[in-house]
């Protein structure tokens, strides 16, 4: 399988954010807003997202690594 980024891949990664207490709510909300913007692009679940969207998601995903420090 290739490293293709699709809505399904992004949603899967968002669903992996575990927030038992709710401290990460601002991060989860940003992720949900990102998914909402993807829905507006009218892409299928397995269609590759635009390169700008893919870069934006990669940047967001890099920032998610800092959650471990909380």
Give the pLDDT confidence of 44-62 residue by residue, as tens digits: 999 999 999 999 999 999 9
Instruction: Pull the structure tokens for residue 44.
Output: 């299928």
pLDDT tens digits, 3-46: 789 999 999 999 988 888 888 899 999 999 999 999 999 899 99
DSSP letters for 3-69: ---BHHHHHHHHHT---SSSTTHHHHHHHHHHHHHHHHTT--TTSBPPHHHHHHHHHHHHHHGGGGG
pLDDT(2) > 60: no
Q: What is the token pair recorded at 47?
A: 């269609």
**Tokens at residue 60, please?**
């967001």
């Amino acid at each position: 399988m290739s490293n293709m980024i699709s809505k399904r891949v992004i949603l899967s990664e968002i669903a992996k954010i575990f927030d038992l207490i709710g401290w990460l709510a601002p991060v989860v909300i940003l992720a949900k807003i990102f998914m909402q913007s993807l829905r507006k692009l009218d892409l299928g679940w397995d269609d590759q997202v635009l390169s700008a969207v893919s870069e934006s998601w990669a940047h967001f995903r890099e920032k998610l690594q800092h959650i471990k420090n909380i």
